[in-house]
């Protein structure tokens, strides 16, 4: 008999003293089918199963099925079993209460990082997959599988070996980090989620513009968000920030001090210091997102708030932008005081994350592949970065400016205020160049008018051509007058 699944029959058990007869069985099935509880095409249990489950004889069960088949309610199919008949005149169930759509918020997030073919993606924050160490990672997976194999259980805080590696790496970069303070996460996004959902006083200040999924996430979790204006061409107006922070009293400042997303700006040491001083003076916590750090190179690093401010700064980073985005692996560095709350938040959200992925990364770092990879990537990104800014200087019309991050995957291209970025995007799409509209990054009115340009994802040749196209379309828009 085939392996088509069959539905378990749920006949109330009257204590076992009462043995079902054929007639009762027929009545039960008849009612189940005509009421729509058993539906056309569903397989009913094999006779042998009824025999065992209900303690009736095989003959009784078979007789009941025969009677039901005669009534047109069941039908036998050779080598498949007995099914509820398609041509039954059972009631069609109407749709039940259309429960959910009106009950759910839709946070309205754009779905997918899939990459369509044949387009130059200036909008990506990822690294060109051709530069990623897929074979080395595969080797590490194989090694983890070979010894000691797939582990049945997960560690809620994350693989201890990888946590130790992360801590050692950060210590080498001037941070005082214990492996016990490291919590592995599903990309840095989960780390932001854990912090925001644990926050008692739900007010968070962020740079403006800012990584849009952070702002959406905070809002989705019921947090009020407060903008701190950032202009990559002017730096931070520290007096303005102090005033905003003083008047809104956020519990937390979420900051991306190196290679800020989306502007590419990096805080000066004075700005880092000042933010830490304000944190002490005004009593807010800091969540530092150091996403771009390891893209500077394998050995050079930039000062971080965590290094300067110590254990009171929550520090987030991720392997997503440096290795395969599909690994979904990041971490947060907490402190003995905050670890418990953050770990509880992680457990409530996902219980724990995939051990195989974590063990693979631990192996990858143990073998020293990570720094080798970063050095190699950095050399290539450096070439692309330089080519990108040279090309920008060469082709862009007057009035166009760009930030000079010197690292990270993107820079900010600022357009003359007369240009409508939406119109530019339409024209670029027609020429197979993809840019991202910047609106998601801003709190309402924008003090910048431009978009993020990736030099890490497209090849050098693609960047060269695409920027030529951008310049052409910009000139066309500007001379059209309907910029």
3-state secondary structure of 212: helix
**In whole angstroms, what is the distance from residue 290 CA to residue 39 CA?**
55
Contact pattern for a copy of itself over residues 134 through 153, marking x by CB under 8 A:
xx-xx--xx--x---xxxxx
Q: Identify the residue among 224, 350, 446, 449 touching a copy of itself (CB under 8 A).
A: 350
- Is the CB of residue 183 less than 8 Å from the CB of residue 330? no
Please state the closest distance from residue 172 (CB atom) to a copy of itself, in A: 5
Asked if residue 382 binds a copy of itself (CB under 8 A), the reply is: no
**In whole angstroms, what is the distance from residue 409 CA to residue 133 CA?**
17
From 257, 244, 190, 198, select the one nearest 217 (Cα to Cα). 190
Asked if residue 32 binds a copy of itself (CB under 8 A), the reply is: yes
* CB-based burial label for 203 (10 Å; 0-12, 13-18, 19+): middle
Asked if residue 26 binds a copy of itself (CB under 8 A), the reply is: no
Q: Site residues for a copy of itself, window 99-128 (CB under 8 A)?
A: 99-109, 111-115, 126
Q: Identify the residue among 335, 403, 410, 436 touching a copy of itself (CB under 8 A).
A: 335
Adjacency order of strands within the sheet including 450-454: 401-402, 410-414, 450-454
Q: Identify the residue among 24, 34, 49, 224 touching a copy of itself (CB under 8 A).
A: 49
Q: Interface with a copy of itself by CB under 8 A: which range of 347-355, 377-385, 393-401, 417-425?
A: 347-355
Q: Interface with a copy of itself by CB under 8 A: which range of 352-360, 386-394, 419-427, 441-449?
A: 352-360
**In whole angstroms, what is the distance from residue 155 CA to residue 164 CA?**
14
Nearer to a copy of itself, 355 or 449 (CB): 355
What sign results for the dihedral spanned by CA atoms 137, 138, 143, 149? positive
Asked if residue 193 binds a copy of itself (CB under 8 A), the reply is: yes
Asked if residue 349 binds a copy of itself (CB under 8 A), the reply is: yes
Please state the closest distance from residue 425 (CB atom) to a copy of itself, in A: 22
**In whole angstroms, what is the distance from residue 67 CA to residue 22 CA?**
9
Q: Site residues for a copy of itself, window 222-281 (CB under 8 A)?
A: 222, 251-252, 266, 268-270, 273, 276, 279-281
Q: Identify the residue among 67, 231, 366, 371 touching a copy of itself (CB under 8 A).
A: 371
Residue 480's alpha-carbon distances to 153, 401, 455, 473, 474, in angstroms, are 63, 21, 29, 10, 10
Asked if residue 326 binds a copy of itself (CB under 8 A), the reply is: yes
Nearer to a copy of itself, 141 or 483 (CB): 141
- Is the CB of residue 423 less than 8 Å from the CB of residue 347? no
């Amino acid at each position: 008999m085939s392996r088509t699944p069959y539905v378990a029959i749920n006949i109330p058990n009257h204590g076992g003293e009462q043995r079902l007869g054929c007639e009762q069985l027929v009545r039960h099935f008849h009612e189940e089918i005509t009421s729509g509880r058993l539906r056309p095409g569903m397989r009913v249990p094999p006779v042998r199963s009824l025999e065992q489950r209900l303690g009736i004889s095989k003959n009784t069960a078979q007789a009941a099925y025969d009677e039901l088949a005669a009534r047109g309610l069941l039908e036998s199919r050779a080598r498949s079993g007995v099914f509820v008949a398609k041509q039954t005149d059972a009631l069609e169930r109407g749709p039940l209460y259309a429960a959910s759509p009106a009950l759910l918020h839709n946070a309205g997030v754009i779905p997918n990082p899939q990459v369509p073919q044949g387009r130059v993606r200036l909008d990506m924050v990822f690294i060109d997959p051709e530069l990623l160490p897929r074979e080395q990672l595969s080797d590490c997976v194989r090694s983890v599988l070979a010894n000691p194999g797939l582990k049945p259980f997960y560690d809620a805080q994350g693989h201890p070996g990888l946590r130790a590696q992360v801590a050692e790496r950060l210590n080498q970069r001037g941070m005082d980090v214990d492996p016990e303070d490291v919590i592995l996460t599903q990309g840095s996004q989960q780390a932001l989620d854990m912090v925001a959902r644990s926050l008692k006083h739900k007010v968070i200040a962020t740079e403006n513009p800012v990584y849009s999924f952070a702002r959406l996430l905070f809002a989705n979790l019921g947090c009020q968000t407060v903008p701190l204006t950032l202009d990559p061409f002017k730096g931070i107006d520290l007096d303005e920030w102090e005033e905003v922070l003083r008047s809104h009293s956020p519990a937390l400042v979420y900051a991306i001090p190196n290679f800020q997303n989306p502007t590419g700006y990096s805080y000066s040491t004075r700005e880092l210091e000042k933010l830490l001083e304000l944190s002490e003076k005004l009593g807010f916590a800091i969540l530092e997102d150091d996403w771009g750090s390891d893209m500077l190179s394998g050995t050079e690093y930039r000062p971080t708030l965590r290094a300067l401010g110590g254990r009171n700064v929550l520090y987030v980073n991720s392997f997503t932008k440096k290795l395969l985005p599909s690994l979904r692996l990041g971490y947060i560095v907490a402190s003995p005081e905050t670890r418990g709350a953050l770990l509880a938040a992680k457990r409530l959200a996902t219980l724990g994350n995939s051990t195989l992925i974590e063990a693979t990364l631990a192996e990858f770092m143990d073998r020293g592949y990570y720094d080798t990879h970063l050095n190699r990537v950095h050399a290539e990104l450096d070439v692309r970065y330089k080519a990108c800014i040279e090309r920008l200087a060469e082709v862009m019309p007057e009035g166009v400016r760009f930030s000079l991050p010197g690292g990270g995957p993107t820079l900010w291209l600022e357009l003359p205020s007369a240009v409508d970025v939406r119109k530019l995007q339409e024209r670029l799409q027609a020429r197979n160049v993809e840019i991202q509209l910047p609106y998601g990054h801003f709190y309402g009115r924008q003090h910048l008018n431009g978009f993020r340009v990736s030099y890490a994802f497209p090849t050098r040749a693609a960047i060269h051509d695409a920027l030529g196209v951008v310049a052409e379309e910009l000139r066309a828009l500007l001379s059209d007058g309907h910029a």
